[in-house]
Chain A
Amino acid sequence: MLLIYCPYCQVERAETEFHCGGEAHIARPADPSKASDEDWVEFLYMRTNTKGIAAERWRHNNGCGRFFNAVRDTVSDKFLKFYKAGEPMPDLEAIAKEAGK
């Protein structure tokens, strides 16, 4: 079982307390009424589907209930970083290098 660190509760908990919310840092169109159909398709459906180091949204649904972000290696399933929602996306390349990828 995966152990996941919640940056709000500040504890590591079992995966069963969490829910993955997909790719992180996807910005909603700033002015929705001006967004074209293609913009919406891009926003709603198009994902990077990274094989390797990726930033994802996670929710501590059976805990504090908050969304946060995590950097995970989608190949090894290893978590490399956890950070609060609203914080900027970390340098994924630097994290990958540090992890020896």
Chain B
Amino acid sequence: MSDLLASDLITPDAGESPLLNQGSVSILKAAPIARLSFRAREASLKAAGSVFGAALPTTPLACETAVKRAALWMGPDEWTLLAPEEDLKEVFEGIEAKLGDEPHALVDISERSEAVIVSGEKAVWLLNTGIFIDFSLDAFPVGTVTRTIFHKSPVMVWRTGSDTFVVEAWVSFMDYVAGLLVQSAQELEAA
């Protein structure tokens, strides 16, 4: 997994057994991570990126990664910043100190969502059981990140490898999302 984007940041939770472990696809709970919602105008992006450690991408659906840092494009003035839990205070206070009175919003949303890592040759097939997005590598290359809807639940999907996706959902929706993924994957075994 070392060639995966942000593999030093998004790691399987060692204390959890796999939600699904089939030959063609697996679902692993990701270890907790610090998540920050950042909203700002263009004038503040450079400063925020330099203190965060990864630039804030302005290309739609793009991400920028650095050692133990990832900045994900969520909208034209909105990013999700990822860092290890132990770096939360440093990142948060660093950005606040740097931006000072410049108009911006920085909110710790670490506890709002959970992530699972869906990987394997059938990962795309599995996600497409509940998401209407073309996940071919041309249309959705490695590094693409987007919010979308999985059946009835809002999710965030981030492609970190050609066969690997990080799927994030709100904590109270994760049972629904992971449950449907596991149930759908059983069709692969039955086939």
Contacts and interface: CB of A to CB of B under 8 A. Distances in A.
Interface string B63-107: 000000000001110100000000000000000000000000000
Interface stretch (A35-43, A60-68, A74-82): A60-68
A11 B75 contact: no
Given A16-B132, A62-B148, 15 more contacts: A1-B132, A10-B60, A11-B61, A13-B133, A14-B132, A14-B133, A16-B149, A17-B148, A63-B147, A63-B148, A64-B60, A64-B75, A64-B78, A65-B75, A65-B78
B147 A62 contact: yes
Interface residues of B, number: 13
Contacts of B75: 8, 64-66
A26 interface: no
Interface in A8-23: 8-11, 13-14, 16-17
Contacts, number: 40
Nearest to B131: A14
B76 A63 contact: no
Nearest to A65: B75
Contacts of A65: 74-75, 78, 147
